[in-house]
Structure 1
């Protein structure tokens, strides 16, 4: 029987919808998936509520920028790392760029002292001084550095774990269908590209729903904890994370499906999907290494595999122009389209091949 006439029995999008619905149903019927998601959401709420307090508890006194006029006073304070600067302007700069947590300079007030801080004054510092100095905040709405790092790592973990978990599920599904010969029956009525599209869309719907739930859990935690900075500053980053994650996950899921189609045994999946795993793992590692490097974060926001992490982090830190997220989105859209085309070619040419694992280059050759 002619394959093309069979494939025409169901149009492309109807076939894709049927496959996507099946993927969603299978996932939602998994008790382990539901239970693990609930536990994760509870953990996120608790973490957002408690983490700022943990940061304050273990943060210590910190560093203190001092001028020649205030060095003697500062040396009497216990626990502070002194950063000597030339004058008040240099002290302000040290606090603004994160070189020092606070600064102690001379002031035109009865105490003769002025404490300069970025987002909130250190009560410990004020208490240690024999007199109550005048206090000046450079940016009272600036995020807590420890909290900002925690949120950055959070975005990285969600991107890495969700993409890896759902991508691996897609890969296993492809190989299981090859092993049981179900794919041969499916291809009798469903075009290969519709099968790939349905798998990717089905996984994407579940993954995006889970990420949206994680975002709501984080906002709920901020509301419970009364952290107005997090509550006000997280909404836009989370929205952009969901948008970029949606595109990024479609890209990653398609690559995982293509990589899995190259093999016929479940145990061979890691061999062909390892490069994809590294592509989603590196942003998580990079966000930790380059968190305090604005240029590195800016570059990462234009790289499709790291943009879902870098763009929301830069938005939370307030270090991005209005047009930069849009540029990142455009770059990711184009990259996703190209990689879907690439994955579809590999998937079509290797799905019915069994036995020895195929190479990526071999699967890209025109089929005979």
Structure 2
């Protein structure tokens, strides 16, 4: 079977080659790479800045260790926060009032953290405890090396073990939703503009005479989906570089399993939206019409994006099963929550069914409106048109 038997492949190749020569497309991709690099580096920068970290203690011995650690770490060091007892320390750590708590242990101290203990804090406290303990023990005569280091062991105890700090999880969650939003919106507008340009220049009439109109639609959807996926791969590479450069390799261990799910949700959601964007272009007769014809597509993207970023847990759970919204909400939930496997599978099934329905309706509208060049059409009017 040659290419002439698959005209949609030729259209897809035309879309890809045209976009790769477009300076605006190349420039926007570079800008997005810079944004992603900044977004992956920002959490590490934020964690490393700000006021002095607060460390909770319940006795004078621990306070002395924290003061010793503060003197050795440089910068703003650590502030000692006196707490009544261990329950009070646990509450302070859980509520985020202190970064960690240094409590008496069976053979030294225990560093109490919420979902994890910052490695620099743990290292500084461990070294300070060892220094103070060794100095005290050395003052005693006739001690063995084991006795000399007695009471300097530091253990880590997490109240709520988690793979990532809350700040990093929040940024990665926003990043996944933002990648889908920006990619779908950027490519969507390019699809709509491409259709209008072809209508204004009458190129579409030549193309429609050579290949079926539906082949024009399938080619545009396929070509832009390939380009979008390629852009996602490049963005993923930029994210990898940013994470490794800021010593956040632990983030990759959590994000990697979710990445495959994100690709599935991305492709299905993007294909559905690509059909709508093509219809938005076919309804218009000039570039100025796109403001109104693309508004539904923009709303379909914008509302789920804000839900996936700012909504509460219950709202995000509901949104993760709603088509299109699930492309932004479900990967984020899988990153920050313990989501049962049946939930993303159900969400994918619902999204797949919706994508098929939207593409079928979009194909009918595209056939009926693509060659309508007299004036801008509305969606209701397009639905009422008879197939040509």
For the structure 1 residues 319 and 140, does the alpha-carbon distance in structure 2 shift closer, same or farther, using more than 3 Å as the test? closer
Instruction: Spell out, residue by residue over 1:138-185, the C-alpha distance to the aligned partner (whole angstroms, 9 max, x if none).
Output: 356531222112212212221111111111111011111111222222
Of 32, 39, 45, which residue of structure 2 is paired with 1:54? 45
Which structure 1 segments of 5+ residues have no match? Answer: 1-9
Shift of 1:106: 6.4
Of 306, 309, 317, which residue of structure 2 is paired with 1:288? 309
Equivalent residues in 2 for 1:74-223 (5 A)?
A: 88=87, 92=90, 102=99, 104=101, 107=104, 109=106, 115-121=112-118, 123=121, 135-138=156-159, 141-223=162-244
Instruction: Spell out, residue by residue over 1:249-298, the C-alpha distance to the aligned partner (whole angstroms, 9 max, x if none).
Output: 111111011122112111011101111101112233223312xx332322
Of 8, 15, 25, which residue of structure 1 is paired with 2:17? 25
Shift of 1:361: 1.4
Query: 1:59 and 1:112 mapped to 2: Cα distance?
Result: 27
Residues 44 and 217, structure 1, Cα contact 8 Å, conserved in 2: yes
**1:228 matches 2:249:** yes
For the structure 1 residues 160 and 109, does the alpha-carbon distance in structure 2 shift closer, same or farther, using more than 3 Å as the test? same
Q: State which drifts further: 320-329 or 248-257.
A: 320-329
Shift of 1:366: 4.9
Residues 19 and 195, structure 1, Cα contact 8 Å, conserved in 2: yes
Shift of 1:360: 0.8
Instruction: Spell out, residue by residue over 1:78-126, the C-alpha distance to the aligned partner (whole angstroms, 9 max, x if none).
Output: 99899x99973x8657756x66565659655477886343211583996
Residue 37 (structure 1) aligns with? 29
Query: 1:229 and 1:294 mapped to 2: Cα distance?
Result: 25
Shift of 1:134: 5.9
**1:359 matches 2:378:** yes
Query: 2:92 and 2:352 mapped to 1: Cα distance?
Result: 40
Shift of 1:303: 1.7
Q: Secondary structure at the match of 1:115?
A: strand
Task: Give the number of aligned pairs.
Answer: 349
Of 3, 12, 16, which residue of structure 1 is paired with 2:8? 16
Instruction: Spell out, residue by residue over 1:181-239, the C-alpha distance to the aligned partner (whole angstroms, 9 max, x if none).
Output: 22222221211111111111111111111012111221232233332321211212222
Query: 2:245 and 2:53 mapped to 1: Cα distance?
Result: 28
Return the TM-score normalized by structure 2.
0.76
Cα RMSD (Å)? 3.6
Residue 348 (structure 2) aligns with? 329
For the structure 1 residues 105 and 191, does the alpha-carbon distance in structure 2 shift closer, same or farther, using more than 3 Å as the test? same
Which structure 2 segments of 5+ residues have no match? Answer: 68-76, 134-151
Return the TM-score normalized by structure 1.
0.80
Residue 364 (structure 2) aligns with? 345
Query: 2:319 and 2:85 mapped to 1: Cα distance?
Result: 35
Shift of 1:342: 1.3
Query: 1:264 and 1:114 mapped to 2: Cα distance?
Result: 67
Of 295, 313, 323, which residue of structure 2 is paired with 1:304? 323
